[in-house]
């Protein structure tokens, strides 16, 4: 098993995962999007393939990155990746201070978690999440 593979109990999954997750989103301008994800979220450029209109930025979470696919008109339907943060108000304040658009107020969900929805420049939806109750 390589260093990249995640060890799982026998029978727990039908195949072995390698410990990486790439969340693919469509963007209208690859260079501007790379700069936005770097500045706003602190991600690092992993690679960029201009001929293919594709690049990846690595998140601070080990093994998790965002794949950026340049298209003429981004289709922003789909899942909402949710980033766990230690202090949602601090993270939200930073992003709002940089002009990031949020959807409404931070929500407290049953005293268990706080959630705040925000958007990248192309309208891709993301959330911030802070656990209030830990298990």
pLDDT for 35-58, tens place per residue?
999 999 999 999 999 999 999 999
How many Å apart are CA 114 and CA 95, to the nearest integer? 16
Q: Is the pTM of this model over 0.75?
A: yes
* Mean predicted confidence (pLDDT) in 1-20: 68
Quick check: 16 pLDDT over 90?
A: no
Residues 56 and 65 sit within 8 Å (Cβ to Cβ): yes
Task: Please report which helix (H) or strand (E) contains residue 92, including its range.
Answer: helix 88-97
Handedness of CA 98, 102, 105, 106 (dihedral sign): negative
Residue-averaged pLDDT of the chain: 90
Domains detected in the chain = 1-73 (3.10.180.10), 76-135 (3.10.180.10)
């Amino acid at each position: 098993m390589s260093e990249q593979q995640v060890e799982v109990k026998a029978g727990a999954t039908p195949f072995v995962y390698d410990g990486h997750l790439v969340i693919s989103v469509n963007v209208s301008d690859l260079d501007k999007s790379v700069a936005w994800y770097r500045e706003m979220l602190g991600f690092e450029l992993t690679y960029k393939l201009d001929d293919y209109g594709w690049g990846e930025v690595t998140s601070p979470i080990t093994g998790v990155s965002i794949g950026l696919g340049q298209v003429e008109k981004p289709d922003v339907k789909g899942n909402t990746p949710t980033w766990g943060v230690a202090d949602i108000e601090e993270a939200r304040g930073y992003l709002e201070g940089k002009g990031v658009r949020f959807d409404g107020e931070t929500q407290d969900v049953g005293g268990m978690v706080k959630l705040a929805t925000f958007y990248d420049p192309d309208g891709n939806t993301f959330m911030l999440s802070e656990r209030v109750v830990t298990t």
